[in-house]
Amino acid sequence: MASAFTHTVVGLAIAAGFPPPSRSARFWVLGAGGAAIPDLDVIGYRLGVPYDSLFGHRGFTHSLAFAALFAGLCLVAFRGNSAGERRLIWLYLFLATASHGVLDAMTSGGGGVAFFAPFVNERYFFPWRPILVSPLDPRRFFTARGIAILRNEFVWVWTPSIAFALVTRALRRSTAVT
């Protein structure tokens, strides 16, 4: 998996493509949280859930169905917004949450991502996997290996995410001005 820091950065970068709604603090918090929340499935290890189970690590919570469900549940926080705003908020939250599985499918380790769970539990990786896998134990992250992982993620994820956010924001401003 990519680190929680990196998942959050991607979730926030995706937000640059959307106009923030009137309740924007919720928008940002839920987007950043949605990008990281799929890794809550690691509690399954303590409960004896096998890795390759539907509810194992990188299973259902990393799927597109989970991203859609999470985005839908989060809309409760935006019930006062217009229908058009709510559709955009749902799309943003879906993309932010789905980005988690995409990043994990680009890592150098693990057993793949169940993108199509609960319908298909097959795990997938992308052919190009430049992101170093991050340890599940946070204590192991704050080591020399953890610093190497952050450097790797900065090159392959943070830099493109920041560039995407800056370019998207500039394009939004230039089209708003003209």
Report how many domains make up the chain. 1
Q: ∠ CA(32), CA(38), CA(40), 5° rounding?
A: 105
**Residue found under tokens 């680009």:** 106
Q: pTM above 0.75?
A: yes
- Residues 11, 37 contacting (CB under 8 angstroms): no
The pLDDT of residue 174: 86
Q: Please, what sign has the CA dihedral across residues 71, 72, 73, 75?
A: positive
- Residues 96, 147 contacting (CB under 8 angstroms): no
**Domain coverage including residue 167:** 4-177
pLDDT digits (tens, 9 = 90+) for 127-160: 999 999 988 777 777 889 989 999 999 999 999 9
Output the six-digit token pair for 14: 């995706």
Output the six-digit token pair for 48: 């004896």
Output the six-digit token pair for 29: 């918090």
pLDDT digits (tens, 9 = 90+) for 74-114: 999 999 899 999 999 999 999 999 999 999 999 998 889 99
